[in-house]
Amino acid sequence: MGVIVSGAPHFRRNRTTKGIMLDVLIALVPATVAGFVYFGWRAVFTVALSLVASVGTEVIWLLCRKKSLKEIVSQFDFTSCVTGLLLALTMPAFEYKYFYIPILSAVFAVGVAKMFFGGTGKNIVNPAIAGRVFAFISFQSAMVSGWMVPQFASLSGINAVSSATPLTAMLGDGLGAVGVSNLDLFLGTGVMGCIGETCKLALLVGFVYLIVRKVIKWQWPVIYVAVTGLLSCALGKSMGYFLPSILSGGLLLGAIFMATDYVTTPNTKLGNLIYFAALGVLTGIFRAVSGGEVVSYCILLMNVTVPLIDRFIIPRPFGYEKKEKVKKEAR
């Protein structure tokens, strides 16, 4: 079982890593189903390969570490399922000839980013993010041009942007080039994108479920998204950028499901505030500079800074009272 490190006081609850991971999986169901509906069998294919490869990598690794199959089954905590599913949701629905991309990325995500560092709870970066970045720099052509137009047409009747995702179009040519309405972006109709990031409604349903189950705190994703949106407005010098910038690309998926990963976030409230605000700032700036989607890179970058944040922001011990400052008497 993974150990969750947090500031004092420590409460005991009947929550296990397994239970939390199951909740995350349930919260991802709407987005996954939406992806299947929008992108069809190719999405199912990508998700299935990624899941099988993730779980397979973990099992094979544990077998190599001389654990018995029985032990592995009883200790299985679904983290590799979450990794595999999240990884697939951040990828486009691949053509069948690209079968190796989800497999290799999942092997990299679970094998290198998680198991090499000691398994569940010990990874420095979010494995799914590492897997996506690996896929992105390794198979750039397939990851960038492999976009598929969803099976549902845009509600506003505009043809889907055929060459670039709405985000890259907006970053490149300004607001007018988005090509789809905010409602389209919200529902994902007629919008090209990764399997899981297209339908924002489904992601928000998952978000609400996670809040109700108290798996994550609602403030953190909201801070991340809001900072990114406001910064985009500031850089674009128009409030009209707010909705398109938060509704396009992988921002919501990243903010809700990936940036909030327990293992790779700071332990303290102040630390989290810094972490999520910095994520928003980085995403806003890098999007404007690079003209592409950068959420995964930003999360990866901030993941690495977490130990540093934890080192400098030390939680106040429970019951500790601030000493009143005593003025030095003049001699």
Binding site for another protein (CB under 8 A): 100, 104, 108, 112, 134, 137-140
Please state, in angstroms and rounded to a whole number, the distance separating the CA atoms of residues 77 and 72.
Answer: 9
3-state secondary structure of 226: helix
The distance of closest approach from Cβ of residue 94 to another protein in the complex, given in angstroms and rounded to an integer, is 15
When the beta carbons of 106 and 169 are compared against another protein, the nearer one is: 106
When the beta carbons of 140 and 151 are compared against another protein, the nearer one is: 140
The distance of closest approach from Cβ of residue 116 to another protein in the complex, given in angstroms and rounded to an integer, is 9
Label residue 182 exposed, middle or buried (CB < 10 Å: 0-12, 13-18, 19+): middle
When the beta carbons of 39 and 108 are compared against another protein, the nearer one is: 108
When the beta carbons of 139 and 186 are compared against another protein, the nearer one is: 139
CA neighbor of 28 nearest in space, from 164, 239, 203: 203
299-311 b/e with 16+ CB inside 10 Å = b?
Answer: bbbbbeebeebbe
The distance of closest approach from Cβ of residue 195 to another protein in the complex, given in angstroms and rounded to an integer, is 22
The distance of closest approach from Cβ of residue 138 to another protein in the complex, given in angstroms and rounded to an integer, is 4
When the beta carbons of 122 and 311 are compared against another protein, the nearer one is: 122
When the beta carbons of 140 and 159 are compared against another protein, the nearer one is: 140
When the beta carbons of 100 and 218 are compared against another protein, the nearer one is: 100
The distance of closest approach from Cβ of residue 129 to another protein in the complex, given in angstroms and rounded to an integer, is 14
DSSP 125: S
The distance of closest approach from Cβ of residue 104 to another protein in the complex, given in angstroms and rounded to an integer, is 7
The distance of closest approach from Cβ of residue 262 to another protein in the complex, given in angstroms and rounded to an integer, is 25
When the beta carbons of 1 and 137 are compared against another protein, the nearer one is: 137
When the beta carbons of 99 and 218 are compared against another protein, the nearer one is: 99
Alpha-carbon dihedral sign for residues 202, 204, 207, 208: negative
- Say how far residue 23 (Cα) sits from the centre of its chain: 16
8-44 b/e with 16+ CB inside 10 Å = b?
Answer: eeeeeeeeebeebbbbbbebbebbbebbbebbeebbb
Most distant CA pair in the chain, distance: 83
Spell out the residues 6+ positions from residue 249 whose beta carbon is closer than 8 angstroms to its own.
Answer: 165, 167, 193, 197, 287, 293, 295
Q: List Cα–Cα distances, 66 to 94, 284, 316, in angstroms.
A: 35, 46, 42
The distance of closest approach from Cβ of residue 133 to another protein in the complex, given in angstroms and rounded to an integer, is 9
- 92 within 8 A of 195, measured Cβ to Cβ: yes
The distance of closest approach from Cβ of residue 146 to another protein in the complex, given in angstroms and rounded to an integer, is 15
DSSP E strands, the chain = none
